[in-house]
Amino acid sequence: MIKLYGGARSRASIVQWYLEELAIPYEFVLLDMQASEHLKPEFLAINPMGKVPAIADGDFSLWESGAILLYLAQKYDKTTFSGEQLATINQWISFANSTLFIGVFIEAHREREMSRLLTALDKILASQPYLLGKEFGVTDVAVGSILAYIPMLLKLDLSDYPEVMNYMQRLGERPAFQKAMSM
């Protein structure tokens, strides 16, 4: 069974959300990060960087939430993805974890970038319910989780982006989201 290593209120929720969507069995190994369990040799053997999330799938270990999402999509999603589809998924995961995260959560970038990024997302979501079209998928977990952290961690007015707000609401109604992402 897949082991997901995470801490309380950590980015392990992103991976947990997708594991719940995929409905595959997993064990959540909750590390006490206050007690620095993530820096102990047992966990450093899984992720030498001492960061969560990480997974162990049998003998195979992987860390970085984006890499884990891509691995799970390729191995466990019922869809078989073409090379181009995988590249597009990777594009959105990279966007979520670098461009969007930095543009929203790093204050020095927010004024210059957040509006441009959310306006572009708003435009995409005006014509389709999910990032890749009609079907929910792993790209929505990647981008949706970063969006979901906005109201949890920052006091920002998103009313200029009504389609993004509707999207966040749609994602928030999913049972898998509620199980993993609700704080």
Ligand X SMILES: N[C@@H](CCC(=O)N[C@@H](CS)C(=O)NCC(=O)O)C(=O)O
- Point out which residues bind ligand X (CB under 6 A): 10-11, 38, 50-53, 64-65, 97
Q: Which residue lies nearer to ligand X by CB, 64 or 77?
A: 64
Q: Which residue lies nearer to ligand X by CB, 84 or 183?
A: 183
Closest among 118, 132, 30, 149 to 73, alpha carbons compared: 132
* The residue type at 1: M
Do strands 2-6 and 54-57 pair parallel, antiparallel, or not at all (unpaired)? antiparallel
Q: Residue 123 Cβ, how far from ligand X at the closest point, in Å? A: 26
Round to whole Å and give the CA distance between 123 and 163: 8
Q: Which residue lies nearer to ligand X by CB, 47 or 118?
A: 47
Q: Residue 63 Cβ, how far from ligand X at the closest point, in Å? A: 6
Q: Which residue lies nearer to ligand X by CB, 51 or 174?
A: 51
Round to whole Å and give the CA distance between 162 and 25: 36
- Peptide bond before residue 175 is cis, with ω within 30 degrees of 0: no
Q: Residue 159 Cβ, how far from ligand X at the closest point, in Å? A: 28
Do strands 26-30 and 2-6 pair parallel, antiparallel, or not at all (unpaired)? parallel
Q: Residue 38 Cβ, how far from ligand X at the closest point, in Å? A: 6
Q: Residue 13 Cβ, how far from ligand X at the closest point, in Å? A: 9
Q: Which residue lies nearer to ligand X by CB, 62 or 125?
A: 62
Q: Distance of CA 104 to CAs 1, 36, 89, 134, Å?
A: 35, 28, 21, 26
DSSP assignment, residue 38?
G
